[in-house]
């Protein structure tokens, strides 16, 4: 079994953090959230983490650091001091520096609201609708130095309806995110995986 202590990095309301904590409480996701870091002082994820009793809950201000790399290294030092093996991005809206990604290579997990490699970037749902796709979904992937470009751990598909708006499609994608993210984290710590080229091979 892999180490099960994770650090969660978030910028927003924290819905994915909430479902991970709920899955933990229900015994469906055998991880321990040891640290939550937010880069926004009013991020809802901070309140969710405090209410859940996460041991370390920290707002780190990017403006208090010389540049992106310096901020990321402050986050990295905190992650290592709290003995977290995995870094889980949950609505974290900053692009990680190369130094951070290299320091935790193969241990940073993200979820993205499209079926990668299609529609990377911050406007994935809108871009999918504009392109006219008939299915969309979400992707759990490893983070590397290419935006939304790391090896794929898991995906889930949702239909796109003719009358979908950005909000209606995003809500349906989030339903799958909230199922898939805890399931994938559980699989990581219970079984583990290896990566060959771009292909993830799950251990059984």
Task: Return d(Cα 202, Cα 204) in angstroms, integer.
Answer: 7
Check residue 2 and give its pLDDT. 58
Please state the rounded mean pLDDT for residues 67-96. 96
Task: Return d(Cα 2, Cα 81) in angstroms, integer.
Answer: 19
Place 84 in a pLDDT band, splitting at 50, 70 and 90: very high
Count of all residues that appear for the chain in the document: 204
| Residue of 57, 73, 77 lying closest to 65 (CA atoms) | 73
For 135-168, write each residue's pLDDT tens digit.
Answer: 999 999 999 999 999 999 999 999 999 999 999 9
Check residue 79 and give its pLDDT. 97
pLDDT at residue 73 greater than cutoff 80: yes
Buried-exposed string 110-122: b where 16+ CB fall within 10 A, e elsewhere: bbbbbbbeebbee
Task: Return d(Cα 40, Cα 105) in angstroms, integer.
Answer: 25
φ, ψ at 159 (rounded to 5°):
-75, 155
For 24-37, write each residue's pLDDT tens digit.
Answer: 999 999 999 999 99
Q: What is the secondary structure of the chain as a DSSP string?
A: ----EEEEEESSS-HHHHHHHHHHHTTSS--EEEEEEESSTT-HHHHHHHHHT-SEEEE--GGGSSSHHHHHHHHHHHHHHTT--EEEEES--SPPPHHHHHHTTT-EEEEESS-TTSS-STTHHHHHHHHT-SEEEEEEEE--SSTT-SPEEEEEEEE--TT--HHHHHHHHHHHHHHHHHHHHHHHHHT-EEEETTEEEE--
Number of domains in the chain: 1
Could you tell me the residue range of the domain that residue 195 belongs to? 5-202
Check residue 178 and give its pLDDT. 97
For 103-125, write each residue's pLDDT tens digit.
Answer: 999 999 999 999 999 999 999 99
CATH label of the domain that carries residue 170: 3.40.50.170
Task: Return d(Cα 60, Cα 39) in angstroms, integer.
Answer: 5
Check residue 204 and give its pLDDT. 84
Catalytic residue among 4, 112, 141, 178: 112
Check residue 1 and give its pLDDT. 47
| Residue 112 falls in the annotated catalytic set | yes
């Amino acid at each position: 079994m892999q180490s099960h202590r994770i650090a969660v990095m978030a910028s927003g309301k924290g819905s994915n953090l909430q479902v991970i904590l709920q899955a933990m409480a229900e015994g469906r996701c055998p991880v321990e959230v040891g640290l939550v870091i937010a880069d926004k002082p009013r991020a809802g994820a901070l309140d969710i983490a405090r209410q859940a009793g996460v041991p370390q809950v920290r707002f780190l201000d990017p403006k208090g650091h010389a540049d992106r790399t310096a901020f990321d290294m402050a986050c990295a030092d905190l992650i290592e001091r709290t003995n977290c093996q995995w870094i889980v991005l949950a609505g974290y809206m900053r692009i990680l520096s190369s130094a951070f990604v290299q320091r935790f290579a193969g241990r940073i997990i993200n979820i993205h609201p499209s079926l990668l490699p299609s529609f990377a970037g911050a406007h994935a749902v809108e871009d999918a609708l504009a392109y006219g796709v008939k299915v969309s979904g979400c992707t759990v992937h490893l983070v590397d130095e290419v935006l939304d470009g790391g090896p794929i751990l898991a995906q889930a598909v949702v239909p796109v309806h003719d009358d979908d708006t950005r909000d209606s499609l995003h809500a349906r994608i989030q339903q799958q995110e909230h199922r898939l993210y805890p399931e994938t984290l559980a699989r990581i710590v219970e079984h583990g995986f290896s990566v060959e080229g771009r292909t993830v091979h799950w251990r059984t």
